[in-house]
Amino acid sequence: MPRLAANLSLLFTELDYLDRFEAAAKAGFKGVECQFPYAWPAALQAERLTRLGLAQVLINLPAGDWAAGERGIACLPDRVGEFREGVAQGIDYARTLGCGRLHCLAGIAPDGVAPETIHTTYLDNLRFAADQIGRAGLTLLIEPINTFDIPGYHLNRSHQAEAVLDAVGADNLMIQYDIYHAQRSEGELANTIARLLPRIGHMQLADTPGRHEPGSGEINYGFLFDFIDRCGYSGWIGCEYLPAGDTLTGLAWRTRYPCVS
């Protein structure tokens, strides 16, 4: 049975970040994920996880200047040193938080640089990150992201992610399959999930249009949750959506889908 994790970067945002852990636990979540934990001491977050009985299931590696519009630096040839420093920081945080998965955002392809150079940089950085993260006993994830939300993002289709895994050749590199991004980019959700299942290390959800709660848009989550369960996926599914209103009120959607916990 797939397990739901609250994404603390998008849910409970009416609260200060460190207070969102308790809100997630009170709402019945057993796991949490976040985009970037680095603005808060890892030890403070670890204390909340332990006290509340929560698992930190995912964090992102540092991804450049998010406020300025950067969406990862792994494909940027002039940022390799910064990327490697971010890998070390991500590993330190993951160890303190007891988190087994780190997602690497590819980044937006820069203008004026040959596509071959961009992709070679991306693959080389992933090889480095997979090696370092593997030495720590952790899993590295890559996620195709739709180019409606992030124009120019370097990785946007599942077949591209498969090719990257093949090219890097690291046992601990897997796909983070985001149902929302996949629906916007390519659809064909059920068959793609079934085909990719051995290579999926984490999943995330939101509905479309709007990136709101399941049941608010066009995706048939009743069918899809049951299908994922029947496929044998028992990992975490991160609730990385924008609540249409109050977070707690919006969480009523969970009661409609008995095959997730």
* Residues that are catalytic: 143, 240
**Angstrom distance (rounded) from CA 233 to CA 135:** 26
In which element (H, E) is residue 179 found?
Answer: helix 179-185
CA triple 25-193-101, angle to 5 deg? 45
- Collapsing DSSP to helix, strand or coil, 20 comes out as helix
- Asked if residue 94 lies in contact with residue 59, where contact means CB atoms within 8 angstroms, the answer is yes
Nearest 5°: phi and psi at 154? Answer: -75, -20
Q: Determine whether 215 is exposed, middle or buried from the number of CB atoms within 10 Å of its CB (0-12, 13-18, 19+).
A: middle
Peptide bond into 151 cis (omega under 30): no
**Angstrom distance (rounded) from CA 138 to CA 229:** 25
**Angstrom distance (rounded) from CA 87 to CA 156:** 22
**Angstrom distance (rounded) from CA 50 to CA 186:** 39
Q: What is the DSSP letter of 108?
A: B
